[in-house]
Amino acid sequence: MVRSFDGSAVDEKWLDKVCENALWSPTAGNSAGVRIYIVSKEHVASYFEVATDKEWRESSKRSEALMRCGAVVIITSRPNDYIARYAEDDKAKSGLSEKDAWPIPYWHTDAAMAAMALLLLVEEAGLQATIWGNFRNDAAVLSWAGVKDEELFATILIGRGDGNDVASKSLQRDVPSRSDRVRRVQP
């Protein structure tokens, strides 16, 4: 993840196509309940006004660097699409026609898959990105974007890195290696 951008805009037609391609990711029952909203460079500052607060913008070591991204992509999910799909005849036996029946809400899973696909496509094209978690102001962001009846999953900031990232303290944590986190099942 890159957290410091150079301020150049991302080509909008390219980004439209990349976002469409990211939606080739899996979708439970072909529910197609993930949506992607693109915020062009000219509206990035307005997005950050809604997605953050003044205190964060003034105190964060990363705020200016993040706000120089070339585009913002908002990823949402539509739980009701999944509930309706799993109420259809061919899926009704699953017992997933009610929101609370889902042990793992696949609308989040599908949104995560689309987000990961988008991150990989951006990287493959030689640009950089970071995922901006949905920790606060989700209702305000959705309202600002004109989105109704959807849940904000995450936002991806896209652009060209400027090489001035402020390293995350999380990187200093002692964690198991990748190979230690991969295990073979031997029943």
Per the document, the length of the chain is 187
Return the biggest CA–CA distance within the chain. Answer: 56
- Evaluate whether 136 touches 99 at the Cβ level (below 8 Å): no
What are the backbone angles phi and psi of residue 155, rounded to the nearest 5°?
-125, 140
Instruction: Give the pLDDT confidence score for residue 170 in this predicted structure.
Output: 87
First and final C-alpha spacing in the chain: 37
Tokens of 148: 């109704």
Instruction: Give the pLDDT confidence score for residue 37 in this predicted structure.
Output: 98
DSSP, collapsed to helix, strand or coil, labels residue 20 as helix
Per DSSP, the residues of 121-173 read: HHHHTT-EEEEEE--S-HHHHHHHTT--S-EEEEEEEEE-B-S-----GGGGS
Rounded Cα gap, residues 137 and 62, in angstroms: 18
- Evaluate whether 34 touches 107 at the Cβ level (below 8 Å): yes
* The pTM of the whole model exceeds 0.75: yes
* Domains of the chain (ranges, CATH numbers): 12-181 (3.40.109.10)
Given a cut of 70, the residues of the chain with pLDDT beneath it are: none
Helices (H) and strands (E) in the chain, counts: 7, 4
- Evaluate whether 47 touches 137 at the Cβ level (below 8 Å): no
Which of 85, 133, 124 lies closest to 106 in space, CA to CA? 85
Q: Which residue's entry shows tokens 């060209």?
A: 160
Instruction: Give the pLDDT confidence score for residue 73 in this predicted structure.
Output: 98
Rounded Cα gap, residues 83 and 95, in angstroms: 10
